[in-house]
Amino acid sequence: MSLFRICCLIAFFCLSAGVRAQDSVNVDILYIEQKIERPPVLSNLVSWPDDEGLQGASLAINDNNTTGKFLGQIYALESLIFATDHDRDDALEQIRQALADHARLVVLNLPASLLLDVSSLDDAQDDLLFNAQAADNELRQADCRPNVLHTVPSRAMHTDALAQFFTYRKWRQIFLIEGNRASDKALAASMRNSVQKFGLQIVEDKTWIEDADMRRTASTEVPVFTQSSKYDVVFVADEDRDFSQYILYNTWLPRPVAGSAGLTPVTWSPVIEQWGAAQLQSRFRKLSNRDMSSRDYANWSALRSIGEAVTRTGVADTELIKRYILSADFELAGFKGASLSYRDWNGQLRQPIQLVHANAVVASAPIEGYLHQLTELDTLGSDRPETQCESFSLQ
């Protein structure tokens, strides 16, 4: 379904909500996306839906409007989508103009550097920006911003989830393979931090050599590459899914593979069925004709957070919404088994992280046994006492 048709559908749905204009609270949300340029990868099977992110946002707008019908609240989504090669300065200027006239509610699907530039704009200081894409740990630490909340989990939350599971299973010695792209380096660095945090051990730390056609030669190349005398699990950092899928079953020692292939920590996956998730999955499939992805879910949870805040406060004021979201009263049912809420030291949405493979959920982190004074969800990612974020606050 084309983007234009989606926007029309959203507008139509909002108009037909049947609430008298003068009684209603109007909530206008801006969706900003820069299309991700995906590098060429070995397998033709790796593909990414073109409307990823926007469909998650659309489902949430529909959910908010169904509830809003009973409360006199109408939600509308406006979108600003840039091509991968759109001039950066021009994109920033268009965004600045969109944010200029009043304090807005915005969900961002942007890489970290552009997100930081947007959040630094003068016109963005009174806005509430939701990061639904960038998993960079630094955005929750030294690069945190007072006007940015994060619904997508950080890489740290994902690698901590894996480290907890490894500890629980006693897979203490890890063979780490790092891909060659910047995102792979970031993921591997995050895993090294998690290994240290949970007291595990990296026994081999190698960078992948890109010379072979893995589709033909995986069974000869990979065993040699992973030859070592002792390890319990192989962790692979390969966010673009270029080579990691060929590591499985080809390791020198017969060992589970985790990370970007095999046992994968996710924000969302079609295999999550518990906790009422089957209902969210089926509503999403009816809307979009495909499965709901992690980025769809991160957008969904951002817009549902806004919906929940407006439902409980009755107003669409950006500042009041932000205060409510960061208050102790805020709760969001996110179909992951626990109530979701935001960390008030860095704006990160705390949430369970499922570890999955292609056909089932393997485990749900925080793994049972990890204790915390306030909530076990804070054993994943950076906790309050260790935060390097200084500029996030309610001012």
Partner 1 sequence: MKSSMFIRKTIALSLSLAVYGLCASSVWAHWLYVSNEKDDTISIIDASTNEVINTIEVGERPRGVTLSHDFTRLFICASDSDTVQVMSIADNKILFELPSGEDPEQFALHPDNRHLYIANEDDAIATVVDIETREVVAQIDVGVEPEGMAVSHNGKYAIVTSETSNMAHWIDTETQEIVANTLVDQRPRDAEFTLDDSELWVSSEIGGTVSIIDTETKLIKHVINFEIPGISVDRIQPVGMELTSDGELAFIALGPSNHVAVVDRASLRVKEYILVGRRVWHMALTPEEDKLYTTNGVSGDVTMVDVATLRAEKTIKVGRYPWGVAVLPKEHVPQQ
Q: Which residues bind partner 1 (CB under 8 A)?
A: 63, 66-67, 69-71, 276, 279, 282-283, 286, 308, 311-312, 331-333, 337-339, 375-377
CB-nearer residue toward partner 1: 61 or 99: 61
User: What kind and span of H or E run contains 283?
Assistant: helix 277-288
Minimum CB distance to partner 1, residue 59 (Å): 10
174, 155 contact by CB (below 8 A): no
Considering only CA atoms, which of 318, 352, 348 is closest in space to residue 333?
A: 352
Which residue(s) pair with 27 in the sheet? 75
Minimum CB distance to partner 1, residue 12 (Å): 17
Minimum CB distance to partner 1, residue 297 (Å): 14
3-state secondary structure of 386: helix
Minimum CB distance to partner 1, residue 26 (Å): 19
CB-nearer residue toward partner 1: 223 or 276: 276
Which residue(s) pair with 176 in the sheet? 205, 235
Q: How far apart are CA 100 and CA 105, in angstroms?
A: 12
78, 54 contact by CB (below 8 A): no
CB-nearer residue toward partner 1: 5 or 286: 286
CB-nearer residue toward partner 1: 235 or 284: 284
Minimum CB distance to partner 1, residue 369 (Å): 11
Residue 102 DSSP class: S
Look up residue 178 and give its two tokens.
């790092």
- CB neighbours of 351 closer than 8 A, spacing ≥ 6? 153, 157, 267, 301, 334, 336, 338, 340, 377
Minimum CB distance to partner 1, residue 16 (Å): 12
CB-nearer residue toward partner 1: 111 or 337: 337
Look up residue 310 and give its two tokens.
């407006």
CB-nearer residue toward partner 1: 186 or 280: 280
Specify the residue for token string 């292939």: 261
